[in-house]
Amino acid sequence: MIGVLQAGMHDSPYSLTEARVLFELAQTDRVETGELRGLLGLDAGYLSRILTRFENDGLVERERSASDARKQLVRLTPGGAEVFAALDRRSGEEIAQLLGELAEEDQARLVGGMAAIRQVLDGAREPRSYVIRPPRTGDLGWVAYRHGVLYSAEYGWGTAFEQLVAGIVAGFDPARDAGWIAEVNGERAGCVFCMRQDDETAKLRLLLVEPSARGLGIGRRLVEECVRHARDEGCRRVTLWTRDCLTSARRIYRAAGFELESAEKGSENGVELVEEMWSLDLA
């Protein structure tokens, strides 16, 4: 534990809420009490009692606004600044000690988990953006892993499919092929690859978009990037293999100009499906 639920923060006589008030006051020279109340979401009477205690302890000074006598301004005294600095220092020391006991990988997982919580809670209020970039070290393993996990969860496909994906990833040659990774808020959220089949034909492979990132247009953007690259490389045709149950991907392919060439019945891990070949004429 890092002490935030204890009666006194970091062995001080001040509660978490009181420490929050000190933090906000330390960020500015002086602040109007109504603004402070709004920042912290506190009841006016509760905040008044806290400020009265701080004033009695010599931590803050209050005065009437020169422009509006109805408003009250509050600021930290030098003594209040010292108390806040001590709380801030102890907080940093306790967090450093706590994280120092964790392996580097666990620290990354912890930070990532906290970021995920914030993203989920703020997602409805904050617009999300994404970037498309070339693959980096570790991305190819992620591609195989996420294909295995997602298609197992969503369609019941098994280990054989993950092995198939791993084989495709193993055949990726940066000297001949190209790939793109989509990131949302710094986290990998999608991928696609353009792999040469012959001198005139490229194959679109391994299109994937994480469930949390769907609806942002990432799948369409990845397909567009693949087609653009194939055209720039002088290819006359792009092909792809997909399955009839992947309805969202099929809509993207059709919107990009791909046409269904052939279809035949198949199965994956005992699940019946239809294998499809699609193509796009670039000539």
DSSP 120-136: HHHTTTS---EEEE---
Looking from the CA of 57 toward its CB, the CA atoms found within 13 Å total: 20
Domain 130-281 adopts which CATH fold?
Aminopeptidase (3.40.630)
Token representation of residue 188: 């990998």
Q: What DSSP assignment string belongs to 269-280?
A: TTEEEEEEEEEE
Distance in angstroms (rounded) separating the CA atoms of residues 254 and 262: 14
Distances (CA, A) of 37 to 9, 15, 65, 67, 209: 21, 17, 16, 20, 42
User: What spatial distance separates the first Cα and last Cα of the chain, rounded to whole Å?
Assistant: 64
Helices (H), the chain: 16-26, 33-40, 44-56, 78-100, 104-122, 139-155, 159-170, 218-232, 247-255
CATH class for the region spanning 9-101: mainly alpha
Query: Would you list the domain boundaries of the chain?
Result: 9-101, 130-281
- pTM, two decimals, is 0.61
- Per-residue confidence in pLDDT tens, the chain, 283 aa: 444 444 455 567 888 888 889 988 988 888 888 888 888 888 888 989 999 999 999 999 988 888 877 888 999 999 989 988 988 888 888 888 888 888 877 777 777 677 667 766 665 555 568 999 999 999 999 999 999 999 999 999 999 999 999 999 999 999 999 999 999 988 999 999 999 999 999 999 999 999 989 999 999 999 999 999 999 999 999 999 999 999 999 999 999 999 999 999 999 999 999 999 999 999 8
The Cα 67–Cα 60 span in angstroms is 21
pLDDT of residue 113: 76
Percentage of residues in the chain with pLDDT exceeding 70? 91
Beta bridge partners of 193: 179, 205
